Amino acid sequence: SPSCADDKKRRVSYYYDPGIAPIDFGKEHVMVPARVAMAHSLVGVYGMLGDMRRLRTRPATEAEIRRYHSPEYVGLLRDLTPESYANNASLRQKAQEHHGIGVGGDADCPAFARLWEYCRGYAGGSLAAARAVVDGASDIAINWSGGMHHACHAKASGFCYVNDIVLAINELLDCFRRVIYVDIDAHHGDGVQEAFVDSNRVMTLSFHRYDTKGCRKWFFPGSGDVDEIGKDTGRYYSLNVPLDAGVGDDEYHKLFKPVVGKAMEVFQPEAIVLQCGADSLSGDRLGGMELSVRGHAECVSYLRSFNLPLLLLGGGGYTINHVASTWCYETAVAIGKERELPDEIPRHGYELFYENQGNKLHYRTSPAPASKKSSNTAETTKGKVLEHLSEI
Ligand code: ZLM
Ligand code: CA
Ligand code: ZN
């Protein structure tokens, strides 16, 4: 169980592939893979690379990706390029109609240059991270380029093509009896939930913004109601914590700690996977939530304190300077050096990106105080989730 003063060091592995920097989803697309390069650059300038084992790995193979995705879909990802998409009508039609890729100039999941390389890279990173904790070489393994929680068996969705999380969890299941998956991205972790919906060896627990169905300001992907709890053998092993827009640190942690604490107690996992989507931060272009960097990172500290093998993955995050600040700080939390990071961002080549946050890691947030109504809703939600957990 978690202890407060948690000064014990952890052996940390870290994956970074410089091939991510030039990946471009298209002009003005909100998903900017270069944010991972920015985070890496901060991790370097803060002197943390020497505190971690660097995971050097090959890209995931087609066979590894087929462990979850359909052969047809994997073949399509391999063959899709902007050129084949433009020139091969049957390939294009297959991509659009059956596999969620393309469709319109503002597509969530476009066919961009080096798409296959990108997918193999981030999936390879999450597989290497899983193997690093399986073989006991590391206590914590980090892949900020992973965390693509919406990708399905045969379909791309919400900027995600290959579900590296499902691949990594399957790798963990070869060695651990039970794995808990916690998802703090502002969006519902629907792809991971779907993959393990009938399993009692994987508990999925997503915190996300959720607007009741039929609501005018419906938030993607629209699933993740508190009453979605899994099927058959997996009943009570999929859990969801829907939140209102605007939730800040205090309200978030009134739910996060009791719910995650109870889940750890009743499920007794042997490993933890934490998707650290940074679109739940204050000021994100898409998320509409109000977490501070410390509030977000508190989720990492809390899960770290259970002293179980821990995978830290990335995810969403659309105000890229906030994303990089957060993942840098969370890397420090993993190695136990967060108190040693100066708040002033050192010069490192990307410093201009941080000007509108005053060149501070911990940029200022201004969450509105929680309303009576939203506090009541949160209490009700907490009660329902704890009730589901009491069925285990
Ligand atoms: N339109 N360009 C989170 C995934 C969220 C579906 C409504 C596209 C956007 C968004 C794309 C440049 C994670 C939906 C949105 C506009 C159908 C979503 C390209 C702006 C742009 O300017 C944009 C032309 C684009 C996409 C906004 N898409 C905002 N929200 C969501 C997907 C992924 O964070 O959870 C994990 C990585 N899609 O709401 C539409 C219904 C496409
Ligand atoms: Ca989530
Ligand atoms: Zn998201």
Q: What tens digit of pLDDT does each residue of 342-376 get?
A: 999 999 999 999 999 999 999 999 878 888 988 89
Gap between the Cα atoms of 72 and 102, Å rounded: 17
Assess whether the C-beta atom of 189 lies below 6 angstroms from ligand 1.
Answer: no
Q: Which-ligand-closest: CA of 252?
A: 2
What is the interface pTM, i.e. ipTM, of the complex? 0.98
Q: Is the CB of 103 under 6 A from ligand 1?
A: no
Q: Which residues are catalytic?
A: 150
52 in any annotated domain: yes
Instruction: Find how far residue 88's CA is from the centre of its chain.
Output: 34
Checking if the pLDDT of 330 tops 60, the result is yes
Residue 157 lies in a domain: yes
**Nearest residue (CA) to ligand 1, atom 41:** 220
Say what the pLDDT of residue 3 is.
46
Residue owning the nearest CA to atom 35 of ligand 1: 187
pLDDT over threshold 80, residue 217: no
Q: What is the dihedral of CA 49, 55, 61, 65, to 10 degrees?
A: -80
* Ligand 1 and 160: CB distance under 6 A: yes
Q: Is residue 4 pLDDT above 60, yes or no? A: no
Three-class DSSP category at 181: strand
Task: For residue 72, tell me if it sits in a domain.
Answer: no
Whole-number Å distance between alpha carbons of 83 and 91:
11
Cβ of 386 less than 6 Å from ligand 1: no
pLDDT at residue 5, rounded to an integer: 54
Cβ of 316 closer than 6 Å to ligand 1, yes or no, is: yes
Domain hosting 264: range is 12-56+115-389
Minimum CA distance residue for ligand 1 atom 4:
158
Atom of ligand 1 nearest to the CA of 158: 4
Q: Taking Cα atoms as reference points, which of 70, 358, 385 lies closest to residue 228?
A: 385
DSSP-derived letter for residue 229 is -
- Confidence label for 275 from pLDDT (cuts 50, 70 and 90): very high
Question: Cα(291)–Cα(280) distance, rounded to whole angstroms?
Answer: 6
pLDDT given at position 214: 62
Provide the percentage of residues in the chain whose pLDDT is more than 70: 97
Q: Residue 187: CB within 6 Å of ligand 1?
A: yes
Structural contact between residues 151 and 109, judged by C-beta atoms closer than 8 angstroms: no
Q: Per-residue pLDDT tens for 18-77?
A: 999 999 999 999 999 999 999 999 999 999 999 999 998 999 999 999 999 999 999 999
Region 323-346: mean pLDDT is 98
- Greater pLDDT, 305 or 103: 305
64 in a structural domain? no
**364 domain residue, yes or no:** yes
Tokens of 110: 């476009």
Confidence at 97, pLDDT banded by 50, 70, 90 = very high
Rounded distance from Cα 187 to ligand 2 centre (Å)? 5
Count of structural domains within the chain? 1
Residue 324 belongs to some domain of the structure: yes
CATH of the domain at 255: 3.40.800.20
Q: Binning pLDDT at 50, 70 and 90, where does residue 104 land?
A: confident
Ligand 1, atom 24, lies closest to the CA of: 106
DSSP 293-312: HHHHHHHHHHHHTT-S-EEE
Task: Report the separation in Å between the CA atom of 12 and the middle of ligand 2, taken as the mean of its atom positions.
Answer: 24
- Contact of 242 with 287, CB cutoff 8 Å: no
Asked if residue 70 is part of any domain, the answer here is: no
Is 84 within the bounds of a domain? no
- Please tell me whether residue 209 adopts helix, strand or coil conformation: strand
DSSP assignment, residue 341? S
